[in-house]
Structure 1
Amino acid sequence: MQSRGSILVVDDDIGARESMKMILGGRFDVATTDRGYKAIELVKEKEFDVVVLDIRMPDITGIEVLKKIKENEPSPEVMMVTAFAALDTAKDAMKLGAYDYVEKPFKSFDELRNAVSKGIDRKMKMAKSLQLAKDFDEVRKQLLQLEKLSSLGQIASEVIHELATPITGVLGYSEFLLDQECNGIIKNSLQKIKSEAERCQNLIRNVLTFARKPENIKKPVNANEIVRRTVDIKAYQISLDNIKLVLNLDPELPIILADFGLIQQVILNIINNAQDVLKKHDKERLILISTKSDADNIFITIENSGPFIPTEHIDMIFEPYFTTKGAENGTGLGLSISRDIINSHNGEISVKNNNTIGVTFTIRLPIYKE
């Protein structure tokens, strides 16, 4: 149902004031006052759409009331009411922000109603314009954030490529030295160096796989392997935040037809969100990733022990640009993109609050059947 519109009539003449209330009352919600200063107070207390303002007031002129009203943001539309003798003043009032004026006595009831309706329309258009400006500013902030992320991604990719060469050298030299005769302590140290170099090499390979431009190339793949390689990327960083990450993967998990990098992107995004929540959590910090299957689908569940998602947010969490982090910390696109990726795999992603504590994301993907 459309709003009736909220009108404030300001006139010290009780006859004029009550007649305007009667004329407008059938179509609009009307409040009245006989004093200019009182009108200024009322406008500060309540958001009116239109103020119908008499030019001649006993305590303060209508022009001064108009100026004070227009200092408020957002301000109502103001229509002046004047006798013929003050017509020039009414025209001056329009230069100060009044949108129209009507002369007393009114030619007809419709003249007053139509003039007020005009103000209501102006108010609605202004509200829409302000909302569009606000939305545009939000989109601009999101685009700036995406540009920053894109730049960081390019820098990170270049750094990782540069790291690959020395890591390969460390791995090669450690293997060479292990083939030489050396005592047990040195051999054990070299083995640790080789093991850590291999871990770094795997991490670089995983990050480069993830960073490649997605082409949505689906191949038969084991979802457990996607989970493991994603966890390899995040394990060290998560440990710095004292978060325990546990895997409970079904060893008999069926194969799916999927783009490895895109599914990895979805899992990584959910883990990142869980990490952001848990590092501020003063209780148990746990992420549990499980896999299982039924006759037709495999399921990847990612649980965290953080606080519940507010009820009013849970239905909006996959919507584009929805974020509780602020534009400087998040784009609000991660989960929306994740949903689109899973949908493109004929799957489904959902989220729910657990019975006692924490949140669970569930990804369903169809089993690959040749």
Structure 2
Amino acid sequence: DITERKKMEEAIRRAAEEWKETFDSISDAISISSRDCRLLRVNQAFADMFHTERGKIVDKHCYEIMHGINEPVSGCPHLETLKTGKPAAADFFEPHVGIHLELTTSPIFDERGEITGTVHIARDITERKRQEEQLMMADRLASIGELAAGTAHELNNPLTSVIGFSRLLMEKDVSDDIREDLGIICSEAQRATEVIKQLLQFARKRTPAEQLNQINSVVEHVLRLRAYEQRAHNIEVRTDLAPALPEIMIDYFQMQQVLLNIIINAEQSMVEANERGTLTIATRRRNSTVVISVTDDGLGISQEHLGQIFDPFFTTKKAGKGTGLGLSICRRIVTEHSGQIYARSRPGEGATFYVELPINGARP
């Protein structure tokens, strides 16, 4: 019967269309791969995740698109599923698209029970990874803070004695050579005391005394504090401060400390690179946050070091030029304000540091 056949064809067409609509409406990136790793079908989320078009993907190897390489990735869940006949999963960081992925694969069986391929589900877990790293770092900071506090107190007293007695000896009738040596002892002990002061500051847990403040006011105050040093080192300052930003709940002095640290680091980088530089500070509103950016045209930071610059005691400065605690303290302060701090840079192209702070409790 022709009518019945047409009804069946229409039902099949409608079912296929519904399947396609459902396939494309899923927010996770889904793909179907053959045994030899060739992509047979992908949904729109897959194409969007890997910044391409579906027509350009089909029949390419899954590892080319998903991992940006020319052979199966180590720990490939697709190959594991082909081997075991069971679902498999693995996490990967994909530098060619800049995201962390959670990949799961499930087998596809034919009518004889043989595996013909797999279904991939790729999920962007970048934010989850970031939160996990923050939790791990918080634990590390707590442990280091306790150790630092104990060590700092033990060292502070003898160093105070070294400074005091070296100054007393310098006041006595001693030769110039000895006086010079005593001066070195005193200045080095003072430098050690400054390191200890930063250790104590790093270890100290203090709840921010938050009040409604204008972030532009903090920026302007910090720039006034640094104006003399910037002129002395031929640093041009440019500002792009968004008008009418909402007031946000911050500890004014702690946020001043954060910006001072970032700006001083930027100044030192520019002076070392070019003996001059241009410092650009901008503020803007982004959704429910206020963002401060500090950009320099100094030495820049390698990709390897970008992941370490907020770690306690990590520094790229020459010996005696930094403790490696400044940015750790900055991150702790910003985190206590429920914000984020991060950097973008390439060697030789300067760096930009971003501080994002929530607008909770802000006045419009």
Which of these two proteins has the greater Rg computed from alpha carbons? 1
More strand by share: 2
Q: TM-score band (shorter)?
A: 0.3 to 0.5
TM-score normalized with structure 1 length: 0.43
